[in-house]
Amino acid sequence: MTSYQAKDIQVLEGLDPVRRRPGMYIGSTSATGLHHLLWEIMDNSVDEALNGHCDTIEITLHDSQEVTVKDNGRGIPVDEFQKTGKSAMEILFTTLHSGGKFGQGNYKVSGGLHGVGMAVVCALSETLTATSRRDGHEWTQTYGRGKATGKLKKGRPVRAYGTEITFKPDATIFPKIQFQPKAILERAESKAFLNKGLKIIFNDGPNKHVFQYPNGIQDYIRKITADLPKLTEEALVIEKDDQRLRVETAFLWTSSTESNLISYANAIRTVDGGTHETGFRNGITKALRGYIERRGLLPKGVSGITGEDAKEGLVAIISVYLQGEVEFQGQTKGRLNSEITSQVEAVVKHSLEHHLNTHPTLGDLIANRAILAAEARIASRQAKEAVHRKTAISHRLNLPGKLADCATVDKDEAELFICEGDSAGGSSKQARDRKTQAILPIRGKILNVETAPLAKTLANTEIQNIISAIGTGIHPKFDYSKLRYGKIIIMTDADVDGAHICTLLLTFFYKYMFELMQKGHIYIAQPPLFRIDSGKKQFYALDDDEKDRILSGLNGAQHEIGRFKGLGEMPAADLRQTTMSKTTRSLIQVKVEDLESTRLTVGRLMGKDPAPRFKFIKEKAEFVQNLDV
């Protein structure tokens, strides 16, 4: 039995807790945590803007590993702090829970409330240089890994006010240090959208980007809905300001079935939502219910609309500003916990209901959109009940008849190949490893589920087979624990039709089994298009470019080129070696890195409105080199 005594207990001092457990303060040491350091410094400058002391913020990426944030706010205080012999600046950068945002005087509205942001950045930086312009001079001090590495220096006289911070994250903390310009651009633009008139400049080498939006979130929603089919071109805007809470929201409905609510609290993106989102959804739902009942619009068979019906197709920006104590969940502030649900609900319900009643043509349009969603919900429930009745026997007995299942019951070992047609299915069954690889042939092109209603989707035989084989069910009753295969591999012919089938399947997984994409279970096989025989050597090429590279490497040696017409025409030995063998194949893993960009892309390329596709084709047509018609 090991001893455990007082001498075994450690007390971490200063900023050591941050360096020992950085995940507690910035979420992780991945790219997300790395960028969180920059967000902390940016948010301090934005807080100055929120309180009327700053109108310009400039971010400069010197290389991928060092960044500067400069503003024209009040500057960091540099006078002596409570007889410690240290300046207020040094205290702010080297002491947790220090700052000017705990009281009520200096910051009426703020996103940084824990007093740890600057200190955390300092603790996790190899070098940090802070410059404050105030009190008639420029003041500079250097830091490293949470400690001051030099004394506060009084520099040249200046009339301007502001703060400038340059830092380089610590390579002993972060496995990879590479700031991503795209992420910084998006963050800078969103902050400019949220703060009317604030100018944010981002310098990335020779590239200079300037963001400034006089209409704030109205400009924001115009941008994110530019390519979406909308019920109305102009968004509804609600603004309400009282002593403690300011609510700003802009929203509209599209003909898509997906919704997109983007929320902020004190200019901080709340990716996990919170009480302000709940209040907004409640207000929207109650306003629509009241309008529908008053106008007598409900058809027979529909008892009322739900929150999901009201939210379908809704795109909204929700921004709230709170004075005083603000409760976020965790240091990364992903969720707002401050109890403002009822206040936001009342503002949204009253304003929207008044607007609908005074604009009945628009009101009927939006109300009928929600009623249509309710009717689709009822129809899909009935269709699902019918499917459940048909599959009431055990799942194993109701697996698709065309499925050639594998022997293993270990999900992590099992692989499901979804292939195109019975012919390809036959070749795949001969080429597979029966222990771990299952084959499901599908007939032709499945439905485009982005445009098809759920009831029609569930009635499609090929989609029913895919759902039954995978075992998880679909959204909203998706059950990850029932997944039967660790890898789901789309294996289609290496031609335009094959690419189209692959796209339709990806759309289905994105819409109804999104968690499989998120967790990395979806793959795309890469069957070759050509086989090249030269003497006793065999080569395989995915496309013309790879074929040309192989031929150039043969240096004129005699050879024969064969083009595979499809997986069904490919000998089982070739299919096994090139596409199915775990040791020689090449797979593309499908994951969603940027949810907003993916949503827009799927809507643009697969949605009901052809206009965005036509625009996309016109823009990209000049870059097409090989057209398969």
Q: Per-residue pLDDT tens for 254-302? A: 888 888 999 998 888 888 889 999 999 999 999 999 999 999 999 888 8
Distance CA 519, CA 487 (A): 11
**Do 227 and 207 share a structural domain?**
no
Q: Kindly state whether residues 138 and 221 are assigned to the same domain.
A: no
| Residue that is last in its domain, among 193, 211, 229 | 211
Would you list the DSSP string of 527-566? --SEEEEETTEEEEESSHHHHHHHHHHTTT---EEEE---
Say if 559 falls within a structural domain. Answer: no
- 400 and 359 together in one domain: no
Res 494: pLDDT: 80
Torsion of CA 356, 359, 364, 365, to 10 degrees: -100
Residues 516 and 467 in one domain: yes
Same domain, 263 and 161: no
* 11 domain residue, yes or no: no
Task: Give catalytic residue positions.
Answer: 420, 493, 495, 497
Domain membership of residue 607 (yes or no) is: no
Distance between CA atoms of residues 144 and 533, nearest Å: 61
Token pair 């913020």 is found at 57
Residue 10: predicted pLDDT = 46
Does the residue 448 lie in any domain?
yes
The terminus-to-terminus CA distance of the chain in angstroms comes to: 76
Residue 506 is classified by DSSP as H
Q: What is the per-residue burial (b if ≥16 Cβ within 10 Å, else e) of 474-486?
A: beeeeeeeebbbb
Number of domains within the chain: 3
Q: Does 623 reside within a domain?
A: no
**584 secondary structure, DSSP code:** T
Domain boundary among 381, 413, 430: 381
Residue length of the chain: 629
Tell me what pLDDT residue 96 has.
81
Distances (CA, A) of 79 to 41, 83, 154, 256, 281: 21, 10, 12, 57, 47
Q: Which residues of the chain have pLDDT under 70?
A: 1-14, 83, 97-116, 330-333, 384-398, 620-629
Q: Which CATH number covers residue 455?
A: 3.40.50.670
Same domain? For 104 and 203 the reply is yes
User: Domain with 347 in it: what CATH number?
Assistant: 3.30.230.10
Q: Which residues contact 399 (CB under 8 A, 6 or more apart)?
A: 405, 468, 469
456 inside domain: yes
CATH of the domain at 187: 3.30.565.10
Same domain, 221 and 197: no
Whether residues 123 and 191 fall in one domain: yes
Residues 375 and 413 in one domain: no
Assess whether 52 and 138 both reside in one domain: yes
Judgement on whether residues 491 and 452 belong to the same structural domain of the protein: yes
Report pLDDT for 169. 96
Of 583, 568, 578, nearest in space to 436 by CA: 583
Domain assignment of residue 518, given as a range: 394-527+588-592
- At residue 589, the pLDDT reads 92
Write the DSSP assignment of 90-143 as a string of letters.
HHHHHSTT-SS-SSSSS-SB-S--SS-HHHHHHHTEEEEEEEEEETTEEEEEEE
Model pLDDT, residue 332 = 59
User: Residue 248 falls within a domain, yes or no?
Assistant: yes
3-state secondary structure 418-469: EEEHHHHHHHHHHHCCCCCEEEEEECCCCCCCCCCCHHHHHHCHHHHHHHHH
Q: What is the DSSP letter of 3?
A: -
Note whether 598 and 592 are within 8 A (CB).
yes
State the helix-helix crossing angle for 360-390 and 275-295, rounded to 10 degrees.
Answer: 100
Give the pairing of strands 199-204 and 56-63.
parallel
CA angle 63, 67, 70 (to 5 degrees): 140
Cβ atoms of 425 and 419 within 8 Å: the answer is yes
What is the pTM assigned to this prediction? 0.56
Q: Considering the domain boundaries, does residue 619 fall inside one?
A: no
CA–CA dist 417, 44 (Å, integer): 51
Query: Residue 170, by phi and psi: left (phi above 0), alpha (psi -120 to 50) or beta?
Result: beta
Q: Coil, strand or helix: which one is 479?
A: coil
Domain boundary among 184, 211, 238: 211
Residues 173 and 295 both lie in one domain? no
